[in-house]
């Protein structure tokens, strides 16, 4: 069952306000466990982790900035 537009907007807001900051903290904590790698390696790790979080959530964020397709039209 596909999520409605309103449900996707709510999930997107929850993800951006709660889950993403937690993910950032966990990712930075995980990198510090590696005993401070070189700057390029650390940058590569952050770039990869920054892309990985968005791939499974792409369907939720798709079309969120558009007008609600289920809303009644005003002609």
| pLDDT tens digits for range 49-60 | 889 988 988 888
Q: Where are the domains of the chain?
A: 5-60
Rounded to 10 degrees, the C-alpha dihedral 64/70/71/72 comes to 150
The pairs formed by 39-47 with CB atoms below 8 angstroms and a separation of 24 or more are none
The predicted-structure confidence for 1-58, as pLDDT tens digits, reads as follows 588 888 889 999 999 999 999 999 998 888 888 788 888 988 898 899 889 988 988 8
Q: What is the pLDDT of residue 75?
A: 65
Contact 10, 62 (CB under 8 A): no
What is the pLDDT at residue 10? 92
């Amino acid at each position: 069952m596909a999520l409605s537009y309103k449900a996707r907007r709510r999930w997107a807001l929850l993800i951006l306000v709660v889950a993403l900051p937690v993910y950032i903290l966990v990712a930075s904590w995980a990198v510090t466990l590696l005993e401070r790698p070189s700057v390029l390696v650390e940058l590569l790790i952050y770039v990869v982790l920054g892309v990985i979080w968005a791939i499974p959530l792409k369907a939720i964020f798709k079309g969120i900035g558009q007008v609600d397709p289920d809303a009644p039209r005003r002609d």
